[in-house]
Structure 1
Amino acid sequence: MNRPGGSMDEKEGNQNGDPGGHLSVFTRTHSATVSPETRLLSAFKRDTQIRRVYLAGRECYSEEGKTFELRLVGKIKQQLSADPTLRPEYPPSLGLTEFTRRASEVALGKSSRAIAENRVLGVQTPGFTAAVRLGAELLRHWYDVCADWRGPVYLSSPCDDSLAAIFQAAGIQDICEYYYWDDKQRGVCLKKLLEDLERAPERSVVVLSASAHYPTGADLSQNQWAVITQLIMRRRLFPFLLLPAQALCYGDLERDAWPVQYCASLGMELLCAQSFSHCFGLYGEAVGHLLCVLKQSSLLLSVQSQVDTIIRSLWAQPSVGGARVVATVLSNSAHLVEWQGEVKCIVARCRLIRDILRDRLRLLGTPGCWNHLTQQGGLYCCTGLNGQQVDFLSKKRHIHLLPRGCLNMSAINGRNFEYIADSIHLALTTSL
């Protein structure tokens, strides 16, 4: 029973103008650590310099500096909006059947043995991050029911800053790193990578980028994949593959997914998170997909029921707009040819930027070898600049890029190219 005079908290609340007489339940909420991307974007927005440049974005940009839009996608959106047979109704919790079927095919190949043997479960998700989260939830469930499977999750160093938090949010707290990018040789260091995975406990989960590694753009070669997969099978590790920007390395969905097809061809069980937001320009629709390749078809129904249960507690149903666009393109050969033509133009532009940036730095006499710029692929690139040089670019030249000098190649265009190249040269030659 409350006293007529009220508690001290109530009186304090009234004195502070709280009509309810109570402190907020959020009073003791602490501010979360700001991600590098959020911090960089805030710094860029506060920057008042006319020549400021933002190279840390994740979207694919056109030569005009705007988010890339595909003409075909625009046409299909108009057609779908005018289709009288499409009714506003909830989709199944696992997503549109045609979308999941096509997404599985472009990851595993139409002639995939796993698909033919009914060992594949595809699930539509609201974006790439949601696909990773769903996979993490499945892993946590398997940890809970399998007493001998308690291995940690291994992430590449560096990797997407959100990955560790996604696994931790799913209840997996044991997160480790394996060596990936080497600043001195400016590329993937296979030797140290293998050493780290060799020390990983059996049943550990290894998160590997199949293509378009973020944030470095440095992908494993087919020979390196052959070595790594042998270690994974011998050490009984579990591969969780990532396709965050499928098709934007080679301009071809299946070629970018070669590592997924290779692992499946070896009979490996795996999870694979895919995103179609980049390659279709569907950023607002957030079109993702989680692929589960199982050992036996007899496991499919039980895994599907577990996925359905997890989804109902996370997002219930995915949105259908973007998935319909993707399914329409992938199921029509004429659309697919037109779409690939547009995507190949994006890829060709990024490759051209890499070539001319390398040549420009050589022409300026910039210290170091810049061949790694053209050896990487996709939207992202790791220049290999150190922290001091990145700070110089940010503070003195108003060029905002990620740690280790990682940047989005598509954000470079004809208007800012020379300024960026000259600034990188100055960062390496100016005494700070």
Structure 2
Amino acid sequence: MTVLSTLAPVPSDEIFALNRAYATDDNPQKVSLGVGVYRTDDGKPWPLPVVCEAEQRLLAEDSPFRHEYTAIEGDMAFLELARDLMFGFSSKDTSEELQNTKGRIGSVQTVAGTGANHLGALFLATQMKPKRVWLSNPSWANHLTIWELAGVPRKTYPYYNATTRSLDFTGMMATLEEEAEEGDAILLHACAHNPTGLDPNKEQWKEIADLCERKKLFPFFDSAYQGFASGSADEDAWAVRYFLNEKPNMEMCVAQSFSKNFGLYGQRVGAFHYVLPNGDQKLRDIVVNNLCHLIRGEYSMGPTGGCNIVKKVLTNDELTAQWHEDLKIMSSRIKSMRKALYEELVRLQTPGSWKHIVEQNGMFSYTGLTPSQVYALKDKYHVYLLKSGRASISGLSKKNVTYVAQAIDDIVRNVN
């Protein structure tokens, strides 16, 4: 008898299972609103022009070192660029104050944003040992898996008001105020909350920061969409930078992904940043050392291909400027598709309010559709989205938005 005789199956990942179902569907009108990847108006992948240019330049350089090992913590030049992008540091600022702030941050390269989240959760579980981690309800499904595997008990705070289809900020703050305890970790989406597309405004972020400081909670930011959500890398990093600069005595960490904002989904480019309290720079190297210990036992070092592309772009003023233009192209198309879907549903007089579609931001919309309506959309119209009603807006186009709106209108009228 095998030692695995008691092994039980685990549920398939819904997003990847949905994508497989879509791929095998031969209906010509099928629409994928499931997987979170950017698509053009023709429904095709879009290698960013700036990424293509960076690839050509790297190919021309023909560096004999391009396949070599890096350090366990990763490519040091890349890490400085990633840190500066995340926290808004200028390479031209040589002030003592900025150097002190940089000295509070320990950074390592990871296997994309998922790897950064996992590494951070594992590091906190082994070193800080929080009693629990607070996740938004709902949150990215993989957050639950990551913290489960790290062995940290999970609790949720209210985030989405299903009745108004808006942010339940009052419920969030009340729950954390009453139930969160000193030393708890709290997972915060830096921008473009997945799956709802709802973010706190700046005044609400300030209240969240005050609560974390007062109750001695540990903020864990997941930044997967910097620059992709609004088109501005600075605007999308506002919350992280506020915590860093206005709460200098508070520890926190940031999981940073380059999948969405560089279109490097398969290259797995990411970084993890641990921010120490003001005056504790001497601990930075010890933090990095311990993170490297975990990295060495898992993947030894981050992959170099994608990080070389990011490094090439962010070390060249011309390419950096082009990247910012590419971000605007992606974010503006997403916004235009939100507007088009909303206007079509209004034109059809689809029952209910659909204003939330344009009030949300980023790649996803929490449509408010029920699981039975989602299943009906797939079975009758071959429109694929998650059973929670989360739709990837990038799957919409000028060619299919009318069809999708009509499908939603029919399903809403006829399926509970």
Q: What is the TM-score of this pair, normalised by structure 1?
A: 0.90
Question: Does residue 364 of structure 2 align to residue 386 of structure 1?
Answer: no
Counterpart of 1:281 in structure 2 is: 263
Which structure 1 residue ranges, 5 or more long, are not aligned?
Answer: 1-22, 145-149
Deviations 1:204-223 (Å, cap 9, x if unpaired)? 10000011211111111111
DSSP 3-state at the match of 1:154: strand
Counterpart of 2:111 in structure 1 is: 126
Counterpart of 2:75 in structure 1 is: 96
Which structure 2 residue ranges, 5 or more long, are not aligned?
Answer: none
Q: How does 1:24-423 map to 2 (within 5 A)?
A: 24-87=2-65, 88-110=67-89, 116-117=100-101, 118-143=103-128, 150-172=130-152, 174-198=153-177, 199-265=179-245, 266-267=247-248, 268-295=250-277, 296-423=280-407
Q: CA distance change for structure 1 residues 30 and 68 in 2, over 3 Å: closer, same or farther?
A: same
Are the counterparts in 2 of residues 114 and 293 from structure 1 also a CA contact under 8 Å? Answer: no
Structure number with higher relative contact order (C-alpha < 8 Å, ≥ 6 residues apart): 2
Deviation at residue 39 of structure 1 after TM alignment: 3.2
Q: What is the TM-score of this pair, normalised by structure 2?
A: 0.93
Identity of aligned residues (%): 31
Deviation at residue 344 of structure 1 after TM alignment: 0.5
Residues in 2 aligned to 1:318 and 1:73: alpha-carbon distance in whole angstroms: 19
Are the counterparts in 2 of residues 114 and 264 from structure 1 also a CA contact under 8 Å? Answer: no
DSSP 3-state at the match of 2:61: coil
Deviations 1:171-222 (Å, cap 9, x if unpaired)? 32x1111111111111111011012211112111000001121111111111
Deviation at residue 291 of structure 1 after TM alignment: 1.1
Deviation at residue 28 of structure 1 after TM alignment: 4.2
Residues in 2 aligned to 1:66 and 1:288: alpha-carbon distance in whole angstroms: 24
Q: Which amino acid aligns with 1:272?
A: V
Deviation at residue 304 of structure 1 after TM alignment: 1.3
DSSP 3-state at the match of 2:388: helix
Are the counterparts in 1 of residues 106 and 285 from structure 2 also a CA contact under 8 Å? Answer: no
| Cα RMSD, aligned residues only | 1.7
Residues in 2 aligned to 1:114 and 1:303: alpha-carbon distance in whole angstroms: 20
Q: CA distance change for structure 1 residues 46 and 80 in 2, over 3 Å: closer, same or farther?
A: closer
DSSP 3-state at the match of 1:403: coil
Deviation at residue 115 of structure 1 after TM alignment: 5.1
Q: CA distance change for structure 1 residues 132 and 342 in 2, over 3 Å: closer, same or farther?
A: same
Q: Which amino acid aligns with 1:76?
A: A
Q: CA distance change for structure 1 residues 315 and 430 in 2, over 3 Å: closer, same or farther?
A: same
User: May I ask how many residue pairs the two structures share in their alignment?
Assistant: 404
